[in-house]
């Protein structure tokens, strides 16, 4: 959340910064800005809203700015202060000689601000970041060395930060440092890049240095110096990035989200390659470093995640408990980290994260690691901070997901959970061979089943149109599809801003039923299996209160025709695998409703794809 880009070298900096920021738009898009070292001074340009507004702001100055070859840029997701030009980064000290961009939250900014105001600093914005600008500048006044000033200033900061800082008296110098927020240095020929994430510079260089917490890097076009917070020199570890620049294209689809929904059959196929060969051969998960003995010694599993990943985790609990007989707890990372959690060497802790850098999940992982638990990470970013903490790493290989609303990364996480649960069941010998074989056989044909759903998307689009004028939407399910109800509701909320809620259907009569009347759509995820009849009764109860009933089902039972106003049919599927099938129409319903309402589907308001603040 918030993206940082910096460059110092011999080439004009403006386009390098703007192109880099465009690659980081997934981290926030409510305002943006750049600071450019020009001959006499550092010039700052900012704009509210999307990056195109900053491009427009800079366009009239294009010629005069071509001489500038060092600068820093920022794309913001507001935490402190509304998304206005004044609050946009870069921030400056009073004289404008020092500029700073920041990702994270400075928790003690109020105290620091009061001290700095008492010394005469005049604040312009409501941000926590401006405090750091004044703090570093005031120390710079004494030490006259930017690196030293940053080292001294960061000792006073509490919270999380990735920072890039320039001073007008040190042309070509950028100082970068971080704590609990990502920052990577791209190493070029007589040039350095600094960014929150690799896509910002991958088209220029594949050599990179991942900064560790509290390290301070000072870059000029010709040199990089890496130190710890006390000035001790550290030898930088330059890594070769296994990345190719990707030209992000919608491939003819109207939005990235629709394209990504359509990629899901191939995502599953890619994950299964090398891991699940046939229904008769054991699952291969070389990435899992749990020995047979450690697996047997485990007495509990905790899965921690946020957002859509939390819903994948809930399905994970259902199948790991069902297949392996190990008790599993699932918890939102933000709740996990502020209580006394019981975890030890006999606990397996699984972190699930598309981005691998969600602040709450990362903190939770670090906490449980310090207590001796084996850490298994399921992530789409094997190069992320979370992956670096992992004892076992299960990459979900969904490819880059551009749309802020997660779709293919969710299905990829689910697929990885099935592989993991089946693998553990095989090692522990907790499942009947026949059941294992049947599930594996069906996993191999899931991609075709999703393709069948996508081939009939017009029907789902019709359903979406019919319900697009609603203000509220209720999703009900039971058992393994309760998380699917939550995920379907979350998708709709995220991109259409309709108030959608998922409930375990048995809970309907304990309160939510009071909201039902002829205006309320209730979508029932009615998959054949152990809870089908129970859910049918719950749907009857909703119908009796005149709710507008929609079914998502793989049943051909004719009595559904009387009960439901609209029926979306999906292919037959084993109940245990049905969350992968059932979520696809829900993603499409959310997509088509948002599209019909004219919403910004790929970049919904107030959201970011990567949440690096707690």
Tokens of 261: 């929904």
> Is the bond into 90 cis (omega within 30 degrees of 0)?
yes
Using CB under 6 A, which residues numbered 353 to 382 contact ligand G6P? 353-355, 358, 361
Residue among 275 and 609 whose Cβ is closer to ligand G6P: 609
Q: What is the DSSP letter of 425?
A: H
CB closest to ligand G6P, residue no: 307
Tokens of 113: 């601000």
Which x/- pattern, by CB under 6 A, does the window 55-84 give for ligand G6P?
------------------------------
Q: Which single residue is written with the structure tokens 């990459």?
A: 395
The sheet carrying 499-504 orders its strands as 499-504, 472-477, 521-526, 548-553, 566-569
Q: Which of 611, 612, 613, 614 binds ligand G6P (CB under 6 A)?
A: 611
Residue among 413 and 524 whose Cβ is closer to ligand G6P: 413
28 is an interface residue for ligand G6P by CB under 6 A? no
Q: Minimum distance between the CB of residue 309 and ligand G6P, rounded to whole angstroms? A: 4
Residue among 9 and 307 whose Cβ is closer to ligand G6P: 307
Using CB under 6 A, which residues numbered 309 to 328 contact ligand G6P? 309
**Inter-residue contact 590 to 496 (CB < 8 Å):** yes
Residues 6+ apart with CB under 8 A from 243: 198, 202, 206
**Inter-residue contact 17 to 71 (CB < 8 Å):** yes
**Count of beta carbons in the 10 Å neighbourhood of residue 503:** 22
Q: How many CA atoms lie within 13 A of 610 on its CB side?
A: 31
Q: Minimum distance between the CB of residue 487 and ligand G6P, rounded to whole angstroms? A: 9
Using CB under 6 A, which residues numbered 384 to 413 contact ligand G6P? 404, 406
Tokens of 552: 């998502």
Residue among 130 and 494 whose Cβ is closer to ligand G6P: 494
Secondary structure in 3-state letters for 584-611: HHHHHHHHHHHHHCCCCCCCCCCCCCCC
Q: Minimum distance between the CB of residue 606 and ligand G6P, rounded to whole angstroms? A: 10
Residue among 147 and 334 whose Cβ is closer to ligand G6P: 334
Residue among 54 and 377 whose Cβ is closer to ligand G6P: 377
Catalytic residue numbers, as ranges: 2, 609
Q: Minimum distance between the CB of residue 206 and ligand G6P, rounded to whole angstroms? A: 24
Q: Minimum distance between the CB of residue 364 and ligand G6P, rounded to whole angstroms? A: 11
3 is an interface residue for ligand G6P by CB under 6 A? no
Separation in Å, CA 181 to CA 185, 332, 338, 405: 14, 20, 19, 22
Q: Minimum distance between the CB of residue 377 and ligand G6P, rounded to whole angstroms? A: 10
**Inter-residue contact 76 to 89 (CB < 8 Å):** yes
Q: Which stretch binds ligand G6P (CB under 6 A): 82-90, 347-355, 430-438, 446-454?
A: 347-355
612 is an interface residue for ligand G6P by CB under 6 A? no
Pairing of strands 207-210, 392-395: unpaired
For ligand G6P, the binding residues (CB under 6 A) are 306-309, 353-355, 358, 361, 404, 406, 607, 609, 611
């Amino acid at each position: 959340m918030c993206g940082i880009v910096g460059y110092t070298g011999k080439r004009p900096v403006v386009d390098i910064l703007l192109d880099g920021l465009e690659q980081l738009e997934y981290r926030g898009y409510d305002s943006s800005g750049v600071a450019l070292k020009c001959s006499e001074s550092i010039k700052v340009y900012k704009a509210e809203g999307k990056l195109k507004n900053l491009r427009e702001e800079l366009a009239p100055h294009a010629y005069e700015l071509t001489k500038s070859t060092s600068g820093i840029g920022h794309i913001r997701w507001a935490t402190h202060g509304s998304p206005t030009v004044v609050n946009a980064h870069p921030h400056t000290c009073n004289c404008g000689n020092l500029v700073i961009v920041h990702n994270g939250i400075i928790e003690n900014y109020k105290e620091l601000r009061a001290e700095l105001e008492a010394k005469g600093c005049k604040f312009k914005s409501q941000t926590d970041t401006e405090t750091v600008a004044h703090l570093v500048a005031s120390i710079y006044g004494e030490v006259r060395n930017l690196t030293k000033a940053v080292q001294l200033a960061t000792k006073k900061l509490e919270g999380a930060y990735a920072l890039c800082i320039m001073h007008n008296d040190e042309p070509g110098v950028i100082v970068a440092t971080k704590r609990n927020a990502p920052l990577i240095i791209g190493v070029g020929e007589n040039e350095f890049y600094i960014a929150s994430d690799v896509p910002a510079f991958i088209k220029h260089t594949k050599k990179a240095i991942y900064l560790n917490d509290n390290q301070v890097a000072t870059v000029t076009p010709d040199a990089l110096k890496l130190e710890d917070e006390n000035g001790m020199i550290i030898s930088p570890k330059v890594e070769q990035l296994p990345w190719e620049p990707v030209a992000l294209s919608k491939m003819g689809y109207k939005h990235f989200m629709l394209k990504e929904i359509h990629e899901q059959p191939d995502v599953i196929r890619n994950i299964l390659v090398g891991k699940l060969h046939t229904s008769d051969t054991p699952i291969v998960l070389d990435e899992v470093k749990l020995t047979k003995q450690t697996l047997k010694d485990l007495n509990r599993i905790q899965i921690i995640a946020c957002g859509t990943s939390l819903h994948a985790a809930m399905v994970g609990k259902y199948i790991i408990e069902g297949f392996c007989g190990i008790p599993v707890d699932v918890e939102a990372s933000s709740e996990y980290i502020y209580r006394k959690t019981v975890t030890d060497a006999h606990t397996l802790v699984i972190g699930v994260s598309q981005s691998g850098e969600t602040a709450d999940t990362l903190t939770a992982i670090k906490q449980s690691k310090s207590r001796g638990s084996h850490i298994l990470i399921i992530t789409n970013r094997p190069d992320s901070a979370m992956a670096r903490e992992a004892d076992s790493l299960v990459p979900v290989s969904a490819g880059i997901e551009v749309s802020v609303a997660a779709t293919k990364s969710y299905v990829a996480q689910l697929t990885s959970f099935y592989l993991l649960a089946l693998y553990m069941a095989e090692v522990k010998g907790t499942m009947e061979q026949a059941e294992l074989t049947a599930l594996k056989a069906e996993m191999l044909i899931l991609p075709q089943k999703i393709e069948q759903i996508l081939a009939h998307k017009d029907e789902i689009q019709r359903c979406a149109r019919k319900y697009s004028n609603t203000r509220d939407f209720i999703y009900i399910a039971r058992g393994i599809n309760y998380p699917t109800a939550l995920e379907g509701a979350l998708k709709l909320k995220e991109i259409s801003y309709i108030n959608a809620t998922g409930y375990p259907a048995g809970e309907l009569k304990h309160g939510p039923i009071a909201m039902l009347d002829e205006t309320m759509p209730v979508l029932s995820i009615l998959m054949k299996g152990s809870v089908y009849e129970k859910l049918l009764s719950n749907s009857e109860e909703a119908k009796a209160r005149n709710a507008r009933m929609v079914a998502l089902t793989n049943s051909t039972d004719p009595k559904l025709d009387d009960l439901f106003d609209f029926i979306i049919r999906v292919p037959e599927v084993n109940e245990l695998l049905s969350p992968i099938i059932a979520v696809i129409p829900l993603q499409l319903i959310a997509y088509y409703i948002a599209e019909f309402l004219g919403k910004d589907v790929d970049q919904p308001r107030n959201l970011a794809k990567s949440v690096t603040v707690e």
